[in-house]
Amino acid sequence: MTTDTFEKDILKGLQSKPKRLFSKYFYDDKGSALFQQIMHLPEYYLPGCETEILQQRAKDIINKLPQASYDVVELGAGDGSKTAYFLDAMIREKKKVTYIPLDISPEILSVNEEIMRQRLPGLCVKPIAGDYFETLKEISSREVPKIILFLGSNIGNFEGEKALGFIRFVKRFMGKGDYFMLGVDLKKHPRTILAAYDDPAGITKKFNINLLDRINRELNGNFNTADFDHYASYDPISGATKSYLISKVAQKVQVASHTVGFHAFEPIHMEVSQKYSLEDLDQIRFQAGFSTDHHFTDSKSYFSISLFEV
């Protein structure tokens, strides 16, 4: 990613009304480390639920997959440590698997390869580094049927109709007999969801504030981060969880030699983490033009691994 797009996106967002910044920029080295801490918070139930499904329900998922061999393509794979449970089950169920992790970061892909080498020696791993808007092209020409994985509730960061747009975009690279496997956080008690994005330890606040620090470092900004507070909300009707940073005072901030004015208590919208019901997912599956779907949930029905068949 060039500094150019980063600078343009940040300035455009800060000049919009209401102000907004994009959560895809959270993940510099410090932000990625803070996200690892979030994943270990007791309130942040998502990774535990998803891991439970990948461990306990893998065989049920694999029973829906008729072919003997598959390319398992993972979008935004990261270190793949949760995916290893599913790949392990695929191998135990005698499927012939090639694992193709796609990620923007070549560093995390070498960690991924090393984890697979240790946990699943003999697994064929073919990492591809880059933006998946580019790298997906490379996998669509392969002969073997594929399962495209998009785990970790990452679909939740797409706002409104953009989630459907993204699923339609991925489907263009798929053929008959291929599967899209999505890890999705479900609608549930609003307090349970809100607590996951408003932890008392304040890690989620730091995770959001880090983007202001990043702007200070990389775009020569002068945000005084102590003047901003974090505020999360959940709307049980739409299922949208939204995070904001609130300017506690009226102030002017410099970013890349532009001046940005804030009123007291003016919000910057930072992130959307959309929650879905199983009915919402059925509708998206239908609207995206997949033929069938199956949902595999954890014991609390907090999270779903949903399998969409082309």
| 154 lies in the binding site for ligand AVJ (CB under 6 A) | yes
Residue nearest to ligand AVJ (CB): 273
| 135 lies in the binding site for ligand AVJ (CB under 6 A) | no
Q: Which residues of 284-297 are buried (b: 16+ CB within 10 A; e: fewer)?
A: bbeebebeebbbbb
| 153 lies in the binding site for ligand AVJ (CB under 6 A) | yes
Q: Which range touches ligand AVJ (CB under 6 A), out of 10-18, 117-125, 153-161, 251-259?
A: 153-161
Cis peptide before 267 (omega within 30 of 0): no
77 or 120: CB nearest ligand AVJ: 77
Neighbours of 99 (CB within 10 A): 26
Residue type, 66: P
Residue by residue, what is the 3-state secondary structure of 14-32? HHCCCEECCHHHHCCHHHH
Stretch (H or E) spanning 197: none
Shortest gap between Cβ of 23 and ligand AVJ (angstroms)?
7
Quick note: the x/- pattern for ligand AVJ over 46-65, rule CB under 6 A, is x-------------------
User: In the set 99, 150, 197, 308, which binds ligand AVJ (CB under 6 A)?
Assistant: 197
- Alpha helices in the chain, H assignment, sequence order: 3-15, 29-39, 46-56, 58-62, 83-92, 106-119, 132-140, 161-171, 190-196, 203-218, 278-287
User: In the set 112, 273, 304, 306, which binds ligand AVJ (CB under 6 A)?
Assistant: 273
Would you say 149 and 83 are in contact if contact means Cβ atoms under 8 Å apart? Answer: yes
User: In the set 83, 112, 157, 306, which binds ligand AVJ (CB under 6 A)?
Assistant: 157
Shortest gap between Cβ of 225 and ligand AVJ (angstroms)?
17
| 195 lies in the binding site for ligand AVJ (CB under 6 A) | no
| 271 lies in the binding site for ligand AVJ (CB under 6 A) | yes
65 or 306: CB nearest ligand AVJ: 306
Which region, left, alpha or beta, applies to residue 303 given φ > 0 means left and ψ of -120 to 50 means alpha? beta
- Alpha helices in 228-292, H assignment, sequence order: 278-287
Quick one: CA dihedral 42, 47, 51, 52, positive or negative?
Answer: positive
Q: What backbone torsions phi and psi does residue 271 show, to the nearest 5 degrees? A: -155, 145
| 304 lies in the binding site for ligand AVJ (CB under 6 A) | no
User: In the set 152, 221, 239, 267, which binds ligand AVJ (CB under 6 A)?
Assistant: 152
Shortest gap between Cβ of 271 and ligand AVJ (angstroms)?
6
Shortest gap between Cβ of 156 and ligand AVJ (angstroms)?
5
| 156 lies in the binding site for ligand AVJ (CB under 6 A) | yes
Quote the tokens at residue 91.
């191998």
> If binding means CB under 6 A, how many residues of this protein chain bind ligand AVJ?
12
- Residues of this chain that bind ligand AVJ (CB under 6 A): 38, 46, 152-154, 156-157, 197, 204, 207, 271, 273
